[in-house]
Amino acid sequence: MLAQQIVNGLTIGSFYALMAIGLTIIFGLMDVINFAHGEFYMLSGFLTLLFASVFKINWFLSVLMAVAVVFFFGQMCEKLILKPLRDASLLNKALSMIGLSFFLKNLIIASVGARSHDVVFPQEGVRLRFGSVLVTYEQVWFMGMAFLVFVLLYVLLYWTRRGKAMRATFQNKEAAALMGVDIHKMYSWTFGLGCLLAAVAGSLLGTLYMVYPAMGDIVIIKSFIVAIMGGMGSIPGAICGGFTLGVVESLAAGYISSEYKDVVGFLIVIVLLLVRPKGMFGK
Amino acid sequence: MKKILLETKRLTKYFGGLGAVKQVDFYTNAGEIVSLIGPNGAGKTTFFNLITGFLRPTEGRILYEGKDITRLKPHQVADVGMVRTFQKTKVFPQVSVLEGVMMGCHRKAHLSVWSAVANTNYARDLQNKVTQKAMQILQHIGIEQRAHTLAKNLPYGEQRLLEIAVAMGSDPELLLLDEPTAGMNPEETKRTMDLIYKIRDEGITVLLVEHDMNVVMGISDRIVVLDSGSKIAEGLPNEIQENEEVIKAYLGEEYISHVEDR
Amino acid sequence: MKTINTNYTKMIGYSLFTLGLIALPWVIDIYQLHIMIIAYIFVILSLSLNLMVGYVGQLPLCQAAFFGIGAYTSALLSVKLAISFWPCIAASFLVSAFVGFLIGFVTLRLAGHFFVLITVSFAEIVHILAKNLEEITGGPTGIKGIPAPTLPVPFLGQLTLDTEQGYYYLVLIFTALTVYLIWRLMRSLVGKNFVAIRENSDLAEAVGINTFRYKLIAFIISMGFSGLAGSLYAHYATLICPTILSFNYTMTPLVMVAIGGQGTILGPIIGALIFTALPEYFRLLAQYRLVILGMVLMVTIVVLPRGIKSILDKVYEKIRKKWSGR
């Protein structure tokens, strides 16, 4: 039982990590909490649904396309909304993102409806058994994909020119600007990347569970919790925090009650903020 | 008869492994103008942040009139009588100059929420007094014609004067000025220096961080020199000018004189 | 330069306006009155939110929770304990203020972003609790049969405010009271402290303003009035359920404040009135009401950060200049 819970927790934890990285890099660079984070997640889920279930495109391709669309959409939002607000107060930046989130979610509800939808994953339902632990094929695939994204992210940030520029900007904006890095481009790419990570999580989790307009609601909070646990602005922190939260939640759901599973996260963050606001690896 | 106002003992602040302020023993006498100087990165602003409660020291104690104020929060430090300005100009941008100074007067003009909402005579009276006091301070400093201008619309030099006006609103006993003449032309610098003299003549002790050596040498009763977080010298202006350690610390570094900097 | 003329004009203007408000129930129909009642409740919510957002400069995303706490407090006291309306609404205010104190005390020490997060989390927890604690809150079906307020009138016995007209006056009085109190507060030295914190928190601390204390005071007052609004809603709607704790009720006042004009008294009032009345005229788009809400918020922040009031101010200035130019 314990092992099962832990495995479940790690699976969901890998997604929490993805989502949290997305949020934390945007915060780290732009000092903006992307309140629409959950909505980009949700959009990708719906796009995957659209491509895979309606247009009957291969699932993997659907996910790729959905994520790409959300990436570009994210960049567009950054350009239209956040760029004009560069010098605005943190409050106004937050408000604009809250507006965006509300807009996107209700747009989907108004146009598509509030029901849940199923996304079909090829080879779903197959289960594998490792000792006393049962995992579905989906879980294995998805966790694998999450790890693939981690690896790709690493390659991007440490091996590509753009990635290195992003890291430099992340550490010191002024210095990077002085060295000729186009800061606006960095903002645009970082925001897009953050949305992309949310999108990957959204497509995968939407397939694993269900796709519905409110699925992003809990995402911003969970991502925020994990990002704080790991320390705002820290990618390794987000990864560690994600897995930790996943496992703790899973254990709570198993041993206490699944109704109050979400409360666990809230309690963790409240305690954390009071005791060690910097998180595990905080800047 | 010298009375020690502010004193620090072995004041230390480490950021991770980096020692920004190391074992600094410091004091000011009542009524003095003391300048804190040192090359960039010497720890002067960190020192200011420590003594005014914006940073917690790693080690050491801060005493004001003999009382330990090490663990006080910034507003409590202000309550005790120590008020500061900031290196990067800090005013209240979207309110008028007069209102900004009124905000600075809070320390001596507490009003309870009940009185405020009920608009008692006391509340009205207090508000009038504060308005008058703020106006007087503006006249004193010489920017009263700007009373109703928004702080963010003031030219740089007047913004810096406004900073001092706001700090003066709190009736400080010890005024801490962080680079008050930074970015000023000679005329503005002289105006500020005269203002500092005026402030001292009213019995207020002044502690400055300054880079402009003309100002420092001209205005200070005493000078304390920091380098890389440690105190390397203190004494009268002419003593400091001839001090080898000090010259070495500044050697190779351009004389940062804001007189030339425009 | 104020002349006798401008003072008289102002007085006449205000009097006419007040008379207009009082006479409204005779002039408009029941449905429109209903809209006005809801609008007034949102005026209270917006004004109190503005204390935090527009004046102190913090973003609490938990107003729905306090609106709900006020509503449930009033509902439970009047339904389960048969307590009359007036102590109930007072209790709503006090309970909300007290919970506000507890939450604020713990969270206002933290930097802005964290405050936002904790308030959102708190609101979610309250929402979950309201749905699950069936014995207390009635669960998903909520509480019904909330009695209308009664007022003992000399010589005439009990007056029950169970009509739109009656309730309109009740809400009008409470709204006017809220406007007055908040206006007074912001004109006072305490109000200046709030603004100082918003404008430059470090500087405020440095000159002796206890920023934590004043943020807490603003939060307590803000959430207290939110609870008051909740009580007014409960006794009007006569039934409440956990949906009043949904993020909608946090979002809507936020949009009203942003659109109307942060940091002013008139701004949130304008925002609230516009945003309650307008949707009624665009019935066709009812389905998209929330979508438009989000869009409007985004656009307003980018294009018109100081809200509609800033446009009105400019227009007023132009008119004033023309008049004195003559």
| Residues B124-180: tens digit of each pLDDT | 999 999 999 999 999 999 888 989 999 999 998 889 999 999 999 999 999 999 999
In sequence order, the β-bridge partners of residue B63 are B7, B68
Task: Report yes or no on A232 lying in a domain.
Answer: no
Q: What number of other Cβ atoms are within 10 A of residue B15's Cβ?
A: 11
Q: Do C189 and B169 touch (CB under 8 A)?
A: no
| Distance, CA of C258 to CA of C287 (rounded, Å) | 22
Between B106, B112, B115, which is nearest C209 by CB?
A: B106
Per-residue pLDDT tens digits for B47-103:
999 999 999 999 999 999 989 999 999 999 999 999 999 988 789 999 999 999 999
Q: Do B111 and C190 touch (CB under 8 A)?
A: yes
Among residues 196-235 of chain B, which lie with CB inside 8 Å of chain C? none
| Distance, CA of B244 to CA of C203 (rounded, Å) | 38
Between B52, B118, B130, which is nearest C189 by CB?
A: B130
Q: What number of other Cβ atoms are within 10 A of residue C158's Cβ?
A: 8
Task: Report yes or no on A40 lying in a domain.
Answer: yes
Residue C311 CB contacts under 8 Å (≥ 6 apart), including other chains? C304
- For residue A233, what pLDDT is reported? 82
- For residue C326, what pLDDT is reported? 56
| Band (C163; pLDDT cuts 50, 70, 90) | confident
Minimum CA–CA partner of A94 in chain C: C59
Q: For residues A101 and A38, is the Cβ–Cβ distance under 8 A?
A: yes
| Cα–Cα distances in angstroms (integers) from residue A81 to residues A77, A78, C296, C299, in the given order | 6, 5, 12, 8
Task: Give residue for tokens 């300005």.
Answer: B85
Query: Above 60 in pLDDT, residue C1?
Result: no
| Distance, CA of C158 to CA of B169 (rounded, Å) | 56
Q: For residues B103 and C193, is the Cβ–Cβ distance under 8 A?
A: yes
Q: Do C189 and B116 touch (CB under 8 A)?
A: yes
| Distance, CA of B109 to CA of B115 (rounded, Å) | 12
| Nearest chain A Cα distance for residue C291, angstroms | 5
Query: Above 60 in pLDDT, residue A282?
Result: no
Question: Which of helix, strand or coil describes residue C133?
Answer: coil
Q: Do A228 and C120 touch (CB under 8 A)?
A: no
| Nearest chain B Cα distance for residue C103, angstroms | 20
- C116 contacts in chain A (CB < 8 Å): 33, 94
| Nearest chain B Cα distance for residue C270, angstroms | 22
Lowest mean pLDDT among A21-25, A179-183, C77-81, C297-301: A179-183
Range of the domain at B70: 4-80+171-250
Q: For residues C208 and B83, is the Cβ–Cβ distance under 8 A?
A: yes
- Measured between CB atoms, does C116 come within 8 Å of chain A? yes
Q: Please give the share of chain C, as a percent, with pLDDT higher than 90.
A: 46
What string of DSSP letters covers C26-68? HHS-HHHHHHHHHHHHHHHHHHHHHIIIIII------HHHHHH
Q: For residues B166 and B100, is the Cβ–Cβ distance under 8 A?
A: yes
Residue A196 CB contacts under 8 Å (≥ 6 apart), including other chains? A22, A67, A70, A71, A74
Please name which of A39, A60, A33, A37 lies closest in space to residue A48, comparing C-alpha atoms. Answer: A60
| Nearest chain C Cα distance for residue B121, angstroms | 12
Please name which of B249, B248, B217, B214 lies closest in space to residue B38, comparing C-alpha atoms. Answer: B249
Lowest mean pLDDT among A104-118, A247-261, C121-135, C185-199: A247-261
Task: Report yes or no on B176 lying in a domain.
Answer: yes
| Distance, CA of A248 to CA of A283 (rounded, Å) | 24
- Measured between CB atoms, does C13 come within 8 Å of chain A? no
> Phi-psi category of A172—alpha, beta or left, where left has phi over 0 and alpha has psi -120 to 50?
beta
Chain mean position to CA C41: 6
| Distance, CA of C18 to CA of C14 (rounded, Å) | 6
Between A95, A259, A270, which is nearest C132 by CB?
A: A259
Q: Suggest the residue from C249, C291, C296 to mutate for an interface test with chain A (most A CBs closer than 10 A).
A: C291
| Distance, CA of A5 to CA of A13 (rounded, Å) | 12
- Measured between CB atoms, does C211 come within 8 Å of chain B? yes
DSSP letter assigned to residue A121 = P
* Dihedral sign, Cα of residue B124, residue B126, residue B127, residue B132: positive
Minimum CA–CA partner of C290 in chain A: A106
| Nearest chain B Cα distance for residue C209, angstroms | 6
Rg from Cα positions in chain B: 19
Query: Above 90 in pLDDT, residue C115?
Result: no
As a whole number, mean pLDDT of residues C200-217 equals 94
Q: Please give the share of chain B, as a percent, with pLDDT higher than 90.
A: 58
Per-residue pLDDT tens digits for A138-157:
888 888 889 999 999 989 88
- For residue B256, what pLDDT is reported? 43
- Measured between CB atoms, does C133 come within 8 Å of chain A? no
- For residue C67, what pLDDT is reported? 96
* Dihedral sign, Cα of residue B44, residue B46, residue B52, residue B58: negative
Per-residue pLDDT tens digits for C274-324:
888 877 766 667 778 888 888 888 999 999 888 888 888 888 888 888 877
Helices (DSSP H) in C148-288: which residue ranges? 164-187, 189-199, 201-206, 211-237, 248-260, 266-281
Q: For residues C130 and C68, is the Cβ–Cβ distance under 8 A?
A: yes
- Measured between CB atoms, does A252 come within 8 Å of chain C? no
Question: Which of helix, strand or coil describes residue B73?
Answer: coil
Buried/exposed code over C254-274 (b: 16+ C-beta within 10 A; e: otherwise): bbbbbbbbbbbbbbbbbbbbb
Lowest mean pLDDT among A125-129, C50-54, C193-197: A125-129
- Residue A191 belongs to what H/E stretch? helix A183-208
| Cα–Cα distances in angstroms (integers) from residue C193 to residues A76, B78, C186, C287, C306, in the given order | 39, 15, 9, 43, 21
Chain mean position to CA C147: 23
In sequence order, the β-bridge partners of residue B226 are B231
| Distance, CA of C243 to CA of C237 (rounded, Å) | 13
- Measured between CB atoms, does C181 come within 8 Å of chain B? yes
Token pair belonging to B70? 């090490």
Average pLDDT, chain B: 88
DSSP letter assigned to residue A214 = G
As a whole number, mean pLDDT of residues A73-96 equals 90
- For residue C3, what pLDDT is reported? 56
| Distance, CA of A136 to CA of A139 (rounded, Å) | 5
| Nearest chain B Cα distance for residue C147, angstroms | 31
- C302 contacts in chain A (CB < 8 Å): 80-81, 84-85, 96
What angle do helix axes A217-230 and A235-255 make, rounded to 10 degrees?
120
Question: CATH number for the domain including B69?
Answer: 3.40.50.300
DSSP letter assigned to residue B207 = E
Chains C and A touch (3+ CB pairs under 8 A): yes
| Distance, CA of A129 to CA of C252 (rounded, Å) | 50
Token pair belonging to B100? 């900004």
| Distance, CA of C73 to CA of C233 (rounded, Å) | 12
Query: Above 70 in pLDDT, residue A277?
Result: no
Question: Which of helix, strand or coil describes residue C312?
Answer: helix
Token pair belonging to C194? 């709030």
- For residue B169, what pLDDT is reported? 93
Q: Suggest the residue from B117, B128, B170, B177 to mutate for an interface test with chain C (most C CBs closer than 10 A).
A: B117
Task: Report yes or no on C2 lying in a domain.
Answer: no
Query: Above 70 in pLDDT, residue B210?
Result: yes
| Distance, CA of B177 to CA of B87 (rounded, Å) | 8
Please name which of B147, B64, B61 lies closest in space to residue B102, comparing C-alpha atoms. Answer: B147
Query: Above 70 in pLDDT, residue B231?
Result: yes
Task: Give residue for tokens 């080879």.
Answer: A123
* Dihedral sign, Cα of residue A30, residue A32, residue A37, residue A39: negative
| Nearest chain C Cα distance for residue A145, angstroms | 29
Between C196, C202, C221, which is nearest B103 by CB?
A: C196
Asked whether the whole model's pTM tops 0.90, one would answer no
As a whole number, mean pLDDT of residues A194-207 equals 93
Domain count, chain B: 1
Task: Report yes or no on B114 lying in a domain.
Answer: no
Q: Do B117 and C206 touch (CB under 8 A)?
A: no
| Number of CB pairs, chain B paired with chain C, less than 8 A apart | 102
Please name which of C119, C319, C123 lies closest in space to residue C215, comparing C-alpha atoms. Answer: C119
Domain count, chain A: 1
Task: Report yes or no on C44 lying in a domain.
Answer: yes
Q: Do B169 and C207 touch (CB under 8 A)?
A: yes
Q: For residues C221 and C97, is the Cβ–Cβ distance under 8 A?
A: yes
Domain count, chain C: 1
Lowest mean pLDDT among A21-25, A172-176, B162-166, B258-262: B258-262
